[in-house]
Structure 1
Amino acid sequence: MTFKGNVFLSLILVALMSLSSTSFASTHFNKKISEYNQYQEFNWGQCPAQFNTTDKQNKCSFAEVPLDWADPTGKKIEVLVAKYPARGGVSKGQLWMISGGPGASASIAFPHVIEYDMADIVEDHDVYIIEHRGIGWSTELQCDWRDYFNPQACFDAQHEIWGDGLFEFNTTNAARDLEYVISKSRALNWLPSYIYGVSYGTMLVQRFTQIAPNGAQGIILDSVLPTTNFGADMYEENADKVFTQLADYCDLDEYCRSKFVSPVNQTIRDTLSKHFAGQHCSDVSIDREKLQLWSMEQISRNDKRALLPFYSRLARCNTDDIVALKKAVTFYKLGGSTFILRQENNVPDEFKATFSGPLYDLISMNEINFVKRSVDQRRLFCANAVVCFTLADHALSAKYQSTWSERYTGEYIYKRMSHYMPLIAFNGTLDHATPIFHAKTIESSFTNINQRFIEVPYAPHGVVFNTGVKTAGEGICGVDIMESFMENPWTKPNTDCLNDLTDHTFKLAIEHSQEVYGEDDAFGSFK
């Protein structure tokens, strides 16, 4: 899950959106509409360029669906559906891919992973992507990027277009879209269906299981977003706890442990307290908010190795460390302004923005913020945290919350649920966005022995495609487990590959260490 109401993460999203404003050739495609009728097959045609796989084997259609599923004869919108047919020519099932966010386009990663990371699955399964209502090539919610700091202007612009129909761009209606397109895809040929959801996509898929408890044959959840007792406002607290987990892993690693006085977590926090009180390593000038924001950036990455060398050197602070730290402060821009918000406004016809800010605001503020934090509470937390956003971020986040929250509710929002379909849920122990200590609560919703939670040590957010193995020639572990589950969802999937995962390391490449610190070993050494 991404959290847009913070300056740093907004820049990530702007970067994603800038993909759509790069100078691609503006070529029109033959858009195929599929009328609202679940008993008729899709009208398949060409895909928009950003949904194309490089082998051009996929095809797309735009399904008409009700804006409000409670009023199926009312206003219609469109959702894009892409299909990658089984390479072997005969399909024995379907796999549906549901992206996260909320607000992130499925085009960011799914076409690539389908083509390159799922060879065995796509050999004999049709793989489908549905683009969430409100995003990109589906009927889109999009504000002028210049209104990023003016959430009321963005809300007013969208409400002027949609009226209260704006609030129908919610998770329950998106789950009904999914139920409908799965049914439509099987109009002429019934095939077993499996659904993969990642991050916010796991909440959408869980909502699907409530409105369509027999709508699929199996569910795969990757980085589980809890449906209760969770909130976007907890992002900093969760990320800071994951930093503690990373430090605890350092204590267990001989190389990393040798670079600190253990326990690592307490050493780092004590060091920061003394440094910013002017009692330690005063020769190195660091802006605290920028350091916390940089730490948030690093803890949010799949590869978090750049974090600990900086804190090791700051804790030790010998003569060599001071030289190296000053170089790193310049490299990471921890002493001055580093961020520039910009976005080109003209997007070629063939490309759409890959993130919807209004959709994020709408869903996160009404469905993913059960636990709220005030600006004062966040400020107090950040006073002693390693990982945090800035005071300005907190104020802006509060503006988003006051503008977009309490706009709608629903029978499933913030409610406990029970799962009855076969299910596997993956979560990594270094997941900052949907941390494992929250994700594991899904186990209380399990009702059967064919529902399993799989904990993956050291894995980041988005586990399935970040599980490389040591044995040459073998596939991606998470994908192999998915395939085993889809082969027979009523038996325990083969998880042997978890014993062959690539070893986690704290060592940085020599080239990167030289670039940042001017030495071969980013940590340096005790003398």
Structure 2
Amino acid sequence: MKKKLSVLAFLFILMNGKAQFSVCEDYNKTPELQSSLCVTLNVPLAYGTDMDETIELFVRKFPAQKERKGSIWLVAGGPGESGASLYPVVGQFAELFPDLDIFVPDHRGTGLSGKICPKEESVESVGGIALVGEEWGSCFGYMFSHQEYVKTFSITNAAKDLGYLINELSGEGKHYVYGVSYGTQLVLRLLQLGPLELDGVFLDSLVPLQDDMEYDLGHRSFVTHSVGQELLEYYDGKAGKESPSLSEQLKTIIKRSKGDDAFAQNLPKQDISILFGMMLDLPTVRRKIPEIIRSLSKDDAGPLNSAIAEITAFYRDYGEKYSTSSNSIPLAQVITASENNPRPQLKKSEVVEESKGLLFTSPLPKLIAENTMPTYDHDAYFAGVPEKMPPTLIIHGSLDPKTHWEGAKRHVEKLSDKGSIEFVTVRNAPHFIALFAPDAFKEAVMAFLEGKSIAGNEVVDTNVALD
């Protein structure tokens, strides 16, 4: 076996040669991509197995703006998000690291890298990389008839991809890695695989441990609700003795939306608690929650509809410029069902029952319940932590409705004896600090690079202020 693997490794290196970046095909479509260079490499489909197939990986590079001193890799979240989800913040990283090359890869299964459904998720398909219409059925059919292929789209194989890319493309100088959300899980899996020479790691919105049964994806609605409740308590405290409280008013609104037809007919079709859960992600909308609740209590749905329009516009505008922005639903389903849903037996009806009484909820628990897609088995890295950590900055929002601050803290405690770990909280920030709290992100990163401590390990940012 060792001989065969060494031959495969030789052929694999020979096939890629020395990777050469070239001008990207889409370089002239958006200003922020004009300086970027692109490359596609072939890597093993399944590392360390008898399978000899390869898969393509796409990487976009933004060359250093000043004299080059190293590189930083930006690892997107998801699972299912391509590197395009980080293109809007590349300029921010270029300001922070003007002397570093910035690399943004597409995980296997996303963007311009090889897909789980090669035909249906192709850029040239009817809906582009997003599944539309009959593509859903044919894609799922392909997954069931190619289950061994689908199983290669694991976190560990994606981490091995990332390790290869870093070693192959980074060049001389200092090497840093940034990951956000699921990207933090992928980076930590990378560090579990073995020694990797990195000068620093930045983990933004750290996911909970895989065996944390309180903050897992199946309990996402409870996480969202707890953050929403904290927010309402803040606004109630600021308003004084408002009666009924915002929580009581929202509870009445949700009840009326389900039993008062005259009231419900003026509301969106989506569950009210899910809509309020979505508002927690965007600071500009989050500030309007008290007004929205008070207006709905007076049968005025105007502010609610305006908030929904603002949320829709944000997500539309955030990624519409990039042809590879759409998430890969097949990849998200496979990874989530295989590794990130510790209650796979839970039924959708049980999720609904569990969520009764919650004022802020997430659609995710119901979406991942009763999975029917192919899955892969846990490997030796599941629910583990790296034996050794490079110098690491973990930065997390105190009002993160996706990856709860307490879940992140528990994870940090497991990592604390593995190396030099700094855990910085951004007061009142939601998920994705680099995007929504850029000033705090810069402050924390600069202090980390200069070897300075943050007073109280907490920073503030007016971008995420509640008032």
Which bin holds the TM-score, normalised by the shorter protein?
A: 0.7 to 0.9
Matched residue of 2:189: which SS?
A: helix
Q: Give the total of aligned pairs.
A: 430
Tell me, yes or no, if the aligned pair for 1:302 and 1:461 is still in contact at 8 Å: no
Matched, 1:166 2:150: yes
Q: What corresponds to 2:13 in structure 1?
A: 36
Deviates more, 1:372-381 or 1:143-152: 143-152
Query: What letter is aligned with 1:477?
Result: A
> In the aligned structure 2, how far is the partner of 1:113 from the partner of 1:98?
12
Q: What corresponds to 1:305 in structure 2?
A: 287
Q: TM-score, normalised by structure 1?
A: 0.71
Matched, 1:224 2:211: no
Q: What corresponds to 2:337 in structure 1?
A: 365
The structure 2 residue matched to 1:82, chosen from 44, 57, 60, is: 60
Q: What corresponds to 1:54 in structure 2?
A: 32
Give the Å deviation of 1:94: 1.3
Q: What corresponds to 1:502 in structure 2?
A: 462
Q: What corresponds to 1:457 in structure 2?
A: 427
Matched residue of 1:193: which SS?
A: strand
Q: Deviations over 1:461-517 (max 9, x none)?
A: 10123225xxxxxxx330342244345xxx34557996562175556xxxxxxxxxx
Please tell me whether Structure 1 or Structure 2 has the larger radius of gyration of its CA atoms: 1
Tell me, yes or no, if the aligned pair for 1:174 and 1:204 is still in contact at 8 Å: yes
Give the Å deviation of 1:440: 1.3
Q: 1:218 to 1:362 in 2, by over 3 A?
A: same
Matched, 1:479 2:461: no
Tell me, yes or no, if the aligned pair for 2:207 and 2:408 is still in contact at 8 Å: yes
Matched, 1:386 2:346: no
> In the aligned structure 2, how far is the partner of 1:82 from the partner of 1:166?
25
The 5 Å alignment of 1:308-319 reads: 308-314=290-296, 317=297
Give the Å deviation of 1:37: 5.4
> In the aligned structure 2, how far is the partner of 1:223 from the partner of 1:395?
23
Q: What corresponds to 1:95 in structure 2?
A: 72
Q: 1:394 to 1:148 in 2, by over 3 A?
A: farther
Deviates more, 1:232-241 or 1:49-58: 49-58
> In the aligned structure 1, how far is the partner of 2:265 from the partner of 2:144?
50
What are the ranges of 5 or more consecutive residues in structure 1 without an aligned counterpart?
1-33, 340-346, 469-475, 508-527
Q: What corresponds to 1:14 in structure 2?
A: none
Matched, 1:376 2:349: yes
Give the Å deviation of 1:197: 0.2
The 5 Å alignment of 1:408-423 reads: 408-423=377-392
> In the aligned structure 2, how far is the partner of 1:395 from the partner of 1:197?
27
Give the Å deviation of 1:264: 4.3
> In the aligned structure 2, how far is the partner of 1:149 from the partner of 1:430?
39
Give the Å deviation of 1:328: 4.5
Q: What corresponds to 1:237 in structure 2?
A: 222
Q: Report the RMSD for the aligned CA atoms in angstroms.
A: 3.8
> In the aligned structure 2, how far is the partner of 1:277 from the partner of 1:71?
53
Matched residue of 1:424: which SS?
A: strand
Q: Deviations over 1:408-428 (max 9, x none)?
A: 321112335555221111111
Q: What corresponds to 1:293 in structure 2?
A: 274
What are the ranges of 5 or more consecutive residues in structure 2 without an aligned counterpart?
1-10, 122-129, 313-319
Q: TM-score, normalised by structure 2?
A: 0.79
Matched residue of 2:13: which SS?
A: coil
Q: What corresponds to 2:82 in structure 1?
A: 105
Tell me, yes or no, if the aligned pair for 1:52 and 1:58 is still in contact at 8 Å: no
Flag the structure with more relative contact order, 1 or 2, with Cα contacts below 8 A and sequence separation at least 6: 1
Query: What letter is aligned with 1:197?
Result: G
Query: What letter is aligned with 1:84?
Result: F
Q: What corresponds to 2:369 in structure 1?
A: 398
Q: What percent of counterpart residues are identical?
A: 21
Q: 1:213 to 1:78 in 2, by over 3 A?
A: same
Matched residue of 1:485: which SS?
A: helix
Query: What letter is aligned with 2:22?
Result: G
